[in-house]
Structures are given as structure tokens and as C-alpha cells.
Structure 1
Amino acid sequence: MTTSPQDLTAWRARITRPAGPLGNASRAVQRRINTLIPEKVHAAITAAMSGMTKAILTGADFTTASPLLGASLEDREAKVTAAIDGWKTAAGAEGGAAGLGGFALALADFPLLMSFKFKLLAQIAALYGHDGRVLSERLYMLHIFELAFSDVEHRIKVLAAMDDWDAAEHPADLKDFDWRSFQQQYRDHIDLAKLAQMLPVVGAPVGAVVNWRLTAHLGKTAMMAYRMRWLATRQGEVVPAR
């Protein structure tokens, strides 16, 4: 199997396809809810989300492996697939345990799942040959996260920012990132799924499935995003992929 610019064009077209009637209706409800929430609440949520995410990205336990050098795309993606499978299993088990614990543990699940997701992104970055300790790489991880958990309008903006990433200039500090959009898009994307995790009886299986699927989706999005960079630096080549 090969990865070509045409494959990536098809992927980009798929994730930027306009939402259907159901998607538009759901987004309209979310926007209405957001307008009803007081600004100081939005500000507090943004501060909490940015603080938590920055703590994950800069914390002592956020270990990043050395970039993998000299490997083919096929070999890299075999390792990436294995990493995604491992984190899917861990996230699913954690979500199931949190679902058994009711409201309190379901709330505790949120930062832990975020930690899992960014550790997965750091591992994937290293396997594609990028240094996750560099600020620009951490910003790229944040954009991958947005790409996975945003509505189509925001995804289009994120993709534009990710194009020619290695040749572009980037903010000098994480504080310059658009945390308001980041938290609001993510919250809107997972609200209903994660609320179901707090329900009695069904909370455990729902938590396991939701965490598994969210992690799988993020991993697949990361693979496509790093393939995009891989091909951007090898224009004209058709490179092997799994």
C-alpha cells in the first residue's frame, strides 16, 4: 500500500466536508448553549483547560522519546499502530473503571484521559522523527488534537495553520495559543458522550467504549497529520505506508 498526495487530498476532503442537517442542528444547539453561559464562566473554563493542558505538556511525567531516525514510513507506522493499540486499551480500561465510580470518578477521568492522549501524541511524534520537547512540536500536537475534536469550520482553519508547518513561524510561548477555541471545541465535541459515562449501570461500558474510540480517532488523525508533513518534505515521492 502507498501513501500519495492524492490519498491525503481525499482525507482532507473528507474531514472538511460540510456537516449534514443533523450535524448543523447539533452545532446550533451547542452554540446556543455557549451564548447562555456567562463570560466569566467561559473564562474560568478556558483558564482551567489551558492550565491543565500546559501542565501535561510541560510536566515532569510527560516523557518524550528520542526521535526515531533512519526508518521507513512503513516501519514507523507499524510502531505507531502498536502504540495506538496500547493507549486505546489503557484508555478503555480507565474509562470503564471511572464509569463504575459514578460522578466523582467520571470527573477525575477527564484530566487522566487528556494525559493519555498527549502522551500518545508525543510517542507518535517521536516515531515520525520529531522531537516532542520542542515548542513547535507541542503546538503541532495541539493542532492535531483540535483537528480530531472540532467542528468542520474550525478544522478548516486548523488545517490551513498546519500546512507547510516546518517552514512556518510559530508562537514563542504556549500562552499565545488560542486556548478559548481549544477548550470550547473539545468540550462541545465530547459533552454528550462523556455525560453518559456518569449514568448508573451503563457508565462503565459507555466509559470504556468512549475512551477507546476517542483515543483511536486521535491516533488515526495524528497518523494522517504526520504523513502530511512526511510527504511535504518529500514532494514527488510515493512512500510506503501500512
Structure 2
Amino acid sequence: MMTYEQRVIAELDRWEDELLKPTGLLQSVSKRVQTKINRAIPAKVQQTLTSTVRGIVRSVLFGLEYVPKQPPLLGISLQERDERARALLSTYQKIAAAEGAGTGAGGIVLGLVDFPALIAIKMKFLFELAHIYGYRTTDYRERLFLLYLFQLAFSAPERRKELLWKIKHWERVASELPPEREYLQQIDWEQFQREYRDAIDFRKMLQLVPLIGAVVGAWANYGLIEELGVVASNGYRMRILEANKAT
């Protein structure tokens, strides 16, 4: 009989294969539609979205407002961590769905408000998840790890291999990191927000449609949190299993 850790390793192998699978026809068509949508968005709106993403990411890396009051959990099994992670994900899916339904019912103006609100919900979820898996988010490197998880969940397919490599080899990557402010200067903020927006475009655009906006907003936010939760949990599971191999 396989141990829990062996089952997780098998799950991670399947997940990694699925994550790195070449882009299919439907995704290619969707990408072309998204590109046309992006070109139709006024430059001022693009700049506002980029500034919003930059501001939230800066607050994540430099501030401590998202750091949970409870210390990281220590001395528990991976199985128990996974169970707590699933419970946390369920809670945040409900929070995000309620927020999406409220802004979706308000039309275009409130739909645009949902963009930064949803990012904030995702970041708070990631911080709490880190503590469930035993990592202290007062450390700048751990907050940067959260950022890589966020990017992997919503990045373009061609960037996933690079991001996954960094997550799988985080101890090596973290040891070579530049100081905080120097790292921030290296981020391509336009690309960051564009990839994130591309990943949610179709669902979030439907949220702006009158009459169905509330239903679509709840559905979109619920699914987006689930996608982030799967990537983030698997990222932490990889780190824990890798650390266990080294001991």
C-alpha cells in the first residue's frame, strides 16, 4: 500500500504533466480573442490596471498587512496540512464568490472594482496557506515565493516551465536573490498584469454583462480561487517533499 507521501508524489507528477501540456486549439483561439480584447482596451485603462497590480504586489513584498496573526503551523503531517489547506480554500472560494456576485450585479463600474479586490483576496489566501504549510511570511523570500505561485497560476503557457523550475528549486533560487528593492526594479509590471488579465479575461468580461453579471461574477471568482489553490498547494507540497528528501 502506498504511503500518503507516495500518493502525493504521484499526484504532483500528473499535475506537472498537465500544467506543461502544449497549448490546445481552444486555448489558442481563446488567446487570439483575448489579444483583440486587450487591443480594444484604452491605454489609460491599461495603465490603471498596471498601476493597480504594481501597488498590490509592492504592498505584498514590502508590507506586512497580509501576514496572518497566527504563527506558521509546525510539527504536523503533510496530510493534515493538506486537509487544512482544502478547508481554507473552500472558505476563500465562498468569500470570492460573494464578492464577485456583488460587483457583477453592479455592472461595468463595480465589475472593474472587482479586479483589485479579487487580487487582494487571492493574496490574503496565499499568506494564510503559507502558514498552514509551515512557512513564515515575515521573510521577504517567502513573500516572493507567493508571488511566483501567483504568476504560475495565471501566467502564459510559455512561461510555466520557467516558473515551475524556480518553485521546484526554490532554496537555490532564494539563496541568489538580490535585495528587495533591487528585485522590484527588475519586474516587468506591464507583462505581469497582462498575463494575469489574459488568464481571467473571458470569465471576467462576461461578469460585466447586464442581468447575468452576478451569476458569472460568483462563478468566475470561485473558479479562479480554485485554480490558484491547486497551484499554491502543490508548490508547497513540492517544497516539503524536497526538504524531507534532504533530511
The TM-score normalised by the length of structure 2 is 0.85
**Structure 2 counterparts to residues 132-147 of structure 1, below 5 A:** 132-147=137-152
What are structure 1's unaligned runs of at least 5 residues? Answer: 238-242
Closer, same or farther: CA 163–171 of 1 in aligned 2, 3 Å: farther
After TM superposition, give the deviation of residue 170 of structure 1 in Å: 2.1
Structure 1 segment 6-85 matched on structure 2, within 5 A: 6-31=10-35, 45-59=49-63, 61-64=65-68, 65-85=70-90
Deviations 1:175-198 (A, max 9, x none): 133433321110111112111111
Q: How far off its partner does 1:42 sit?
A: 5.8
Query: Any idea what SS the aligned residue of 2:67 has?
Result: coil
Structure 2: gaps (5+ residues): none
More helix by share: 2
Equivalent-residue separation in structure 2 for 1:170 and 1:232 (angstroms)? 20
Instruction: Tell me the residue number matched to 1:200.
Output: 210
SS in 1 for 2:244: coil
How many residues are paired up?
Answer: 237
Structure 2 counterparts to residues 1-242 of structure 1, below 5 A: 2-4=4-6, 5-31=9-35, 45-59=49-63, 61-64=65-68, 65-168=70-173, 169-173=176-180, 175=184, 176-235=186-245
* Percent identical residues: 37
Give the CA RMSD over aligned residues.
Answer: 2.5
Which residue of structure 2 aligns with residue 240 of structure 1? none
Cα 1:34–1:105 shift into 2, 3 Å: closer
Task: Mark the CA change 1:181 to 1:3 in structure 2 (over 3 Å): closer, same or farther.
Answer: farther
Contact 2:152 2:164 in 1 (8 A): yes
TM-score of the two chains, using structure 1 as the length reference = 0.87
Q: CA deviation at 1:51?
A: 1.6
Greater relative contact order structure (CA < 8 Å, 6+ sep): 1
- Mean CA deviation greater in 25-34 or 47-56: 25-34
